């Protein structure tokens, strides 16, 4: 592996089902992502983008192929090790936010840190919260927030532990263009500060144009 490669996939496949109804969500993906780079993932709905991010984060296991994150081969981790690995290394912004309904905004944001038995860097997290305009919502429950506010909580949660890799599934899909620009600015700023690697799914060509590299997926394959 090239020294500066932080994420590597080889022959990655994810098939759902069997026979005639089989879906080849990923069908042979190879990639090498350099540390500190901002990569945009584009492609039509159903092309396999979320599936790819789920595999890279270890949230789901591939049908075939291998993934290396830093020096760690994901297939060698059991599910408990994979969970700990994810909490420490990866900030994941889910397409459907995945907030915990019974926890407040603040509790949601620091949850991965608490689960890992770490102390949150409150000053840093408050900076993120202020930049995302969530300071008045810290005690609220997720179901009392708008879609865009919930999305911003999901973004704050992913950034709170200063992970080395941020995997974001359409993080600005529900935001107006001003807030969306702010979020991209925030991601670029923290990634520069902490040398973070970002992979972001987007349908927005203007956001893709800001990336260092664009990966285009169709029918489970990378197309040039």
Ligand X SMILES: Nc1ncnc2c1ncn2[C@@H]1O[C@H](COP(=O)(O)OP(=O)(O)OP(=O)(O)O)[C@@H](O)[C@H]1O
Q: Are 184 and 210 in contact (CB under 8 A)?
A: yes
Pairing outcome for strands 38-42 and 72-73: unpaired
Q: Which does 133 bind (CB under 5 to 8 A by kind): Mg ion, ligand X, none?
A: none
Length of the chain in terms of residues written: 224
State the nearest-atom distance from the C-beta of 113 to ligand X, in Å: 28
Q: Which does 25 bind (CB under 5 to 8 A by kind): Mg ion, ligand X, none?
A: ligand X
Q: Which of 16, 114, 115, 212 binds ligand X (CB under 6 A)?
A: 16
Q: Which of 8, 39, 50, 108 binds ligand X (CB under 6 A)?
A: 50
Q: Which does 99 bind (CB under 5 to 8 A by kind): Mg ion, ligand X, none?
A: none
Starting from the edge strand earliest in sequence, which strands make up the sheet with 165-169, in order? 90-93, 165-169, 197-201, 38-42, 213-218, 221-223
User: Is position 43 an interface residue for ligand X (rule: CB under 6 A)?
Assistant: yes
Pairing outcome for strands 72-73 and 165-169: unpaired
Q: Are 53 and 60 in contact (CB under 8 A)?
A: no
User: Is position 197 an interface residue for Mg ion (rule: CB under 5 A)?
Assistant: no
User: Is position 46 an interface residue for ligand X (rule: CB under 6 A)?
Assistant: yes
Q: How does DSSP classify residue 216? A: E
State the nearest-atom distance from the C-beta of 60 to Mg ion, in Å: 13
User: Is position 50 an interface residue for Mg ion (rule: CB under 5 A)?
Assistant: yes
Q: Which does 190 bind (CB under 5 to 8 A by kind): ligand X, Mg ion, none?
A: none
The burial of 55, by beta-carbon neighbours within 10 Å (0-12 exposed, 13-18 middle, 19 or more buried), is given as: buried
State the nearest-atom distance from the C-beta of 97 to ligand X, in Å: 14
d(CA 142, CA 105): 6
The residues that touch ligand X, with contacts defined as CB under 6 A, are: 16, 23, 25, 43, 45-51, 95
């Amino acid at each position: 592996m090239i020294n500066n490669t932080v994420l590597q996939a080889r022959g990655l496949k994810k098939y759902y089902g069997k026979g005639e109804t089989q879906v080849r969500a990923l069908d042979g993906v190879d990639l090498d992502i350099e540390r500190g780079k901002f990569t945009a993932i584009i492609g039509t709905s159903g092309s396999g983008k979320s599936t790819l991010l789920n595999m890279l984060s270890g949230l789901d296991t591939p049908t075939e192929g291998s993934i290396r994150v830093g020096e760690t081969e994901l297939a060698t981790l059991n599910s408990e090790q994979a969970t700990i690995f994810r909490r420490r290394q990866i900030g994941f912004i889910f397409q459907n936010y995945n907030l915990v309904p019974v926890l407040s905004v603040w509790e949601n944001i620091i949850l991965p840190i608490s689960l890992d038995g770490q102390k949150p860097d409150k000053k840093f997290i408050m900076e993120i919260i202020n930049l995302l305009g969530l300071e008045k919502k810290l005690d609220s429950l997720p179901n009392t927030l708008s879609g865009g506010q919930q999305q911003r909580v999901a973004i704050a949660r992913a950034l709170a532990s200063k992970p080395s890799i941020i995997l974001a599934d359409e993080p600005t899909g529900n935001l107006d263009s001003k807030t969306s620009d702010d979020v991209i600015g925030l991601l670029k700023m923290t990634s520069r500060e902490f040398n973070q690697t970002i992979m972001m799914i987007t349908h927005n060509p203007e956001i893709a144009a800001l990336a260092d590299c664009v990966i285009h997926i169709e029918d489970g394959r990378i197309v040039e």
